[in-house]
Structure 1
Amino acid sequence: MTTLQEVEKSQVKKLASAAKLPEFRPGDTVRVNVKVIEGQRERIQAFEGVCIARRNAGLNSSFTVRKISYGEGVERVFPLFSPRVDSVELVRRGDVRRAKLYYLRGRRGKAARITERSGAGEETGAAESTEA
């Protein structure tokens, strides 16, 4: 392992422990709260949609979220460890058989639906909601 890889690995560990990101996969519906700077003001803007791709590349890891806004498909790529990403909330778990859901780009309405995943993932989610 080169020195650069070692430094990157330590940075990923530090950032991963600081940022409490939920475990999510392609097919899951997520709400990403992004810090938006407008002049001197900074505010939080939510972007909710289906995660259609994850890219695991150390510090350069990212994920793509797609939503339909006013009948138009909007995709946004978020770096996983970006300081602009305030938080990521898991809204719903989806059951898919692919790692990249680019085929959703060509589908509209009910054809673009994703079935909800049931099983072990829901049990942990239910346990978390009773603790709050």
Structure 2
Amino acid sequence: MSYQELIEQLQTKECKPNLPLIGPGDLLKVGVLIREGNKSRIQPFQGTVLGIHSNQASTTVTLRRLTKLVNVERVLLIHSVKIASIQILRRYKVRRSKLYYLRSFHSKKNRLKQKLS
């Protein structure tokens, strides 16, 4: 067995089996597991997907949200143990795979058109 085949086997074990199909522009609600001392809780993080970097077990999603006039970006590993749940709240119509241009817009200019399903 070659080195690459061994890595592929390990990565397929680490991947979560039933994840929703995530695309750029989607509005996601991700439950992130947070440990504080001996306690752990699930904190929701809701934001728009700016981009996806897919690489089997190390797939990352960049989420962005506006909180009290401050833009917050977070890069999350999809197959991480710290991700408890992923929900797609809305899908938006976009024509690019990376939506980094949304960083320069504020509040009302930051709106996307919703997909009709």
Question: TM-score of the superposition, structure 2-length normalised?
Answer: 0.91
Shift of 1:14: 2.9
CA distance in 2, matches of 1:11, 1:115: 40
Shift of 1:65: 0.4
1:113-128 pair list within 5 angstroms: 113-118=111-116, 122=117
Q: Where does residue 8 of structure 2 map in the other structure?
A: 9
State yes or no: 1:34 paired with 2:32.
yes
The count of corresponding residues between Structure 1 and Structure 2 is 117
Structure 1 gaps, min length 5: 123-132
Q: Where does residue 64 of structure 2 map in the other structure?
A: 66
Between structures 1 and 2, the one with greater helix share: 1
The answer to whether the 8 A contact 1:30-1:88 is kept is: yes
State yes or no: 1:89 paired with 2:87.
yes
The answer to whether the 8 A contact 1:21-1:87 is kept is: no
Structure 1 residues 8 and 58, CA gap change in structure 2 (3 angstroms):
farther
Between structures 1 and 2, the one with greater strand share: 2
Q: Secondary structure at the match of 2:47?
A: strand
Shift of 1:19: 4.2
Shift of 1:98: 0.7
CA distance in 1, matches of 2:27, 2:93: 11
CA distance in 2, matches of 1:82, 1:28: 20
CA distance in 1, matches of 2:29, 2:65: 11
Identity %: 33
Residue identity opposite 2:52 in structure 1? R
Structure 2 gaps, min length 5: none
Q: Secondary structure at the match of 1:87?
A: strand
Q: Where does residue 73 of structure 2 map in the other structure?
A: 75
Shift of 1:7: 2.8
Question: TM-score of the superposition, structure 1-length normalised?
Answer: 0.81
2:42 counterpart (39, 44, 53) = 44
Q: Secondary structure at the match of 1:74?
A: strand
Shift of 1:100: 0.6
